[in-house]
Structure 1
Amino acid sequence: MQQPHPFTHVWYVSYGSNLCRERLLCYLQGGRPPGARRSYVGARDHAAPQTDSAVDLPGRIYFAGESSVWGGGVAFYDHDQTSPGGFTPARAYLLTVQQFVDVAVQEMHRDPHPDDPLELVVGSGLAAGRFEAGPGTYETLIEVGRRDGLPMLTFTAPHGTDDVRHTPPSPAYLHMLAEGLREAYHWDNDRITGYFDAVTPPTSVPSADLDDAP
């Protein structure tokens, strides 16, 4: 008889566009987020997160690469570096292990699939606090802590902030981050702009985009 996994639920910790709940729901329920170039099939379980909470991460984010979804750079998390502001604002969503895996594989540009081997990895706990599902973007899983006895997991690239050239994010991508920061932290535009100024390369933040946001 197959033994049950130690964990049935985990906290998915987002520091990027999934700070915005509407954007995360596209990964769970399918659809295309505003400003994106791609639609998502959604998870096998379309249920919304059971709860969510703002969390402060000790590492820092940086923007690199060229997004096929948003254009411009996208956010990655370096757990071993210190954020310019002392912490990285993030949002933890309580998901089932299956839902987390389905979100993760869509970030890896794959569709959810029954019996994905990543479910066993996540459900069993990351033995070393880190697991590389592959060499690509968002294929490195990191446990950033525990909450209520459950792993708090995020995903990022295998490289760190000092290993790659930083590239400015697009206005549409920053708009998603800004929406999430308003929802989770209740930050105003001035604080959001200050945060973006601290973590993005020069010639980056389009402040008018924040003014257009509701």
Structure 2
Amino acid sequence: MTKEKKIWYASYGSNLLEERFNCYIKGGKPNGSNNFYKGCTDKTLPTESEEIYIKSELYFANKSKSWNGSGVGFIKTEFDENKTTLGKMYLITKEQFIEVVKQETNNNGELIIDFEKAQKSGSLIFRKKSWYGNLLYLGEQNGNPIFTFTNERNLTDKINAPNKEYLSMIICGLKETYNLSDLEIKEYFEGIEGIKGNPIEKELEKLIRKE
């Protein structure tokens, strides 16, 4: 019997923090969020997790009810070798991946994702007009495909700053995943749309030091 391949779910936002991502697996309410997640049918935690450098640009946009109307993270739909978004990926089953996506996109119905088609084309819009309805293929690691998701278009007309709670969660995730200094984390965020030029930019140093 051939062992079924697992899938790497790659995160670049609040799910960088493993404790927060695990709420999608085993259920729970993340700190600072208004949402309670029911978790997956299979509540087995990821068998592996590791860093990933995504060659696309991070930005913050839309108004999230989960985070009191603040912006949340997205990556641009096109890849750019000159841009790097720091991510973290988790090795989970295909069924868990689909259930994570359903929770992330508030989908209570049936969801079928053609992973092979996404691999061949590089992306797949599995739910139109959903915030995170665009599946992106990021390659393979140890024979298992890597996927993340973002919007079907670049939301440059809906740029919106993240709140302190959401940004703090990402900062905690970066510190958990990468060996970065406080200055390096500050420099990482300073040029990002949704942060640069907004009041939250002046809070960066304090938030990073606090976390």
Q: TM-score, normalised by structure 1?
A: 0.86
Residue in 1 that maps onto 2:197: 202
Residue in 1 that maps onto 2:95: 98
Alignment of 1:1-214 (within 5 A): 8-71=5-68, 72-82=70-80, 86-111=83-108, 116-119=110-113, 121-122=114-115, 124=116, 126=118, 127-135=120-128, 136-160=130-154, 163-199=156-192, 200-203=195-198, 204-205=200-201, 206-207=203-204, 208-213=206-211
- 2:197 maps to amino acid: P
Q: Tell me, which stretches of 5 or more residues in structure 1 are unaligned?
A: none
**8 A Cα contact 2:20 2:30, kept in partner:** yes
Deviation at 1:82, TM superposition (A): 3.5
Deviation at 1:191, TM superposition (A): 1.5
- 2:20 maps to amino acid: R
**Counterpart of 2:101 in 1: which secondary structure?**
helix
Q: Tell me, which stretches of 5 or more residues in structure 2 are unaligned?
A: none
Q: CA 1:13–1:77 in structure 2 vs 1: closer, same or farther (change >3 Å)?
A: same
- 1:142 maps to amino acid: L
**Counterpart of 1:65 in 2: which secondary structure?**
strand
Distance 1:183 1:60 in 2: 21
RMSD: 2.3
Deviation at 1:209, TM superposition (A): 2.4
Deviation at 1:81, TM superposition (A): 4.9
Distance 2:75 2:3 in 1: 26
Give CA deviations for 1:78-110 in whole Å, capped at 9, x if unaligned: 1425487x4111111111001111111111012
Give CA deviations for 1:92-133 in whole Å, capped at 9, x if unaligned: 11110011111111110124x7xx4425x23x4524221112
Distance 1:17 1:5 in 2: 34
Percent identity, aligned pairs only, is 28
